[in-house]
Amino acid sequence: MPDHTFLFASLDSKPPNTVRKVHIRRLYDLFQVSIQRQDFTRASRAWAILARCKEFDWMSMWMTGFLVLRGSSSNDVPQEKLEFLRTMLLQQTGQREAILQELLFCLIRCGKYREALNELELYLPAFPYQDNPILHTYAGLLCLYMAQPSPESESAVFDEVLLRAAQSHLDQSKRLDPENIVTQAFLDKIPELRAIKAAKPSQTFIESEDDMENEDDEDKLATPKAKRIRV
């Protein structure tokens, strides 16, 4: 066959020796050009054809497939993108940690913090996720964020259970990556949050004592009472 010039290097380093392989290489060039031009409609059509070809290992190009699925710079994260990443997480054995990080980023981006933490709690006890400091940092920061009191609540008390979980994950991340200054910064912040929690009950107690004294003002004239010492 005559020599052919292709724009992009294919996953197969061997030159195509059949009409079918030449057609696949041309389609792959069209696919890459469409991505460069941000023509994701045409890129998705080319991807759909390439994914059906046995010569094209689409699973190893999951990041490119996710880019096509995501389309242009849209800020929304539809359910089909999450399902795509979950499917890749189950089928792509070689890059599961990177896929899980992308899944967590998408869940956090659309405000599904509890769902992101559930995904981490599912995978972190198993190997190799348990030795990944980035995943432990994600878990610690999610716990810290969710430990905050809700905006509707008048209380400033942080959730102690989530604070302990955050410290556990951040300690593990610090042990795996001692040079991570971000992890250390949030570890130093946890005692301050616990101090807020410890100061709140005494503050509430003082307010209740003041209320009790106001209620007793009318009875002080009728029945003398011993004065209480205020601390």
CATH number at residue 191: 1.25.40.10
Residue with more model confidence, 71 or 188: 188
Q: Are 53 and 24 in contact (CB under 8 A)?
A: yes
Considering the domain architecture, whether residues 96 and 141 belong to the same structural domain is answered as yes
Considering the domain architecture, whether residues 120 and 60 belong to the same structural domain is answered as no
| Residues 6+ away with beta carbon under 8 Å from 77 | 106, 107, 109, 110
- Judge whether 88 lies within some domain: yes
pLDDT at residue 83 in the model: 86
Residue 7 pLDDT grade (very low, low, confident, very high; cuts 50, 70, 90)? low
* Among 10, 42, 68, residue at a domain's last position: 68
- Judge whether 217 lies within some domain: no
Considering the domain architecture, whether residues 141 and 192 belong to the same structural domain is answered as yes
Residue 120 pLDDT grade (very low, low, confident, very high; cuts 50, 70, 90)? very high
Query: Distance between CA atoms of 205 and 21, rounded to whole angstroms?
Result: 79
For residue 65, the SS3 value is helix
Domain count, the chain: 2
C-alpha distances out from residue 91 to 58, 84, 125, 176, 210, Å: 12, 11, 19, 27, 63
Query: Distance between CA atoms of 22 and 18, rounded to whole angstroms?
Result: 6
In the DSSP assignment, the letter for residue 180 is -
The mean per-residue pLDDT over the stretch 28-38 comes to 88
Query: Distance between CA atoms of 191 and 167, rounded to whole angstroms?
Result: 10
Query: Distance between CA atoms of 208 and 154, rounded to whole angstroms?
Result: 16
Considering the domain architecture, whether residues 55 and 98 belong to the same structural domain is answered as no
Considering the domain architecture, whether residues 88 and 187 belong to the same structural domain is answered as yes
Q: What is the percent of the chain with per-residue pLDDT over 70, rounded to a whole number?
A: 71
pLDDT at residue 41 in the model: 86
Considering the domain architecture, whether residues 160 and 192 belong to the same structural domain is answered as yes
- Judge whether 208 lies within some domain: no
Considering the domain architecture, whether residues 89 and 140 belong to the same structural domain is answered as yes
Considering the domain architecture, whether residues 47 and 125 belong to the same structural domain is answered as no
Range of the domain at 102: 81-198
pLDDT at residue 142 in the model: 94
Tokens coding 49: 């054809």
pLDDT at residue 158 in the model: 82
- Judge whether 213 lies within some domain: no
Lowest mean pLDDT segment, chosen from 21-30, 55-64, 89-98, 146-155: 146-155
Residue 223 has pLDDT above 80, yes or no: no
- Judge whether 206 lies within some domain: no
Considering the domain architecture, whether residues 88 and 194 belong to the same structural domain is answered as yes
Considering the domain architecture, whether residues 124 and 151 belong to the same structural domain is answered as yes
Residue 229 pLDDT grade (very low, low, confident, very high; cuts 50, 70, 90)? very low
C-alpha distances out from residue 181 to 83, 153, 173, Å: 34, 32, 11
Residue 187 has pLDDT above 70, yes or no: yes
Query: Distance between CA atoms of 196 and 214, rounded to whole angstroms?
Result: 27
Considering the domain architecture, whether residues 64 and 85 belong to the same structural domain is answered as no
| Residues 6+ away with beta carbon under 8 Å from 134 | 101, 173
Half-sphere exposure of 97 (CA within 13 A, CB side): 14
- Judge whether 170 lies within some domain: yes
Considering the domain architecture, whether residues 54 and 119 belong to the same structural domain is answered as no
pLDDT at residue 148 in the model: 86
- Judge whether 120 lies within some domain: yes
* Among 16, 46, 68, residue at a domain's last position: 68
CA angle in degrees (0–180, nearest 5) for 147-150-154 = 115
Query: Distance between CA atoms of 139 and 119, rounded to whole angstroms?
Result: 10
Average pLDDT, the chain: 77
* Among 44, 68, 92, residue at a domain's last position: 68
Residue 65 has pLDDT above 90, yes or no: no
Angle subtended by helix axes 79-91 and 96-109, to nearest 10: 160
- Judge whether 225 lies within some domain: no
Tokens coding 8: 């992009």
pLDDT at residue 206 in the model: 34
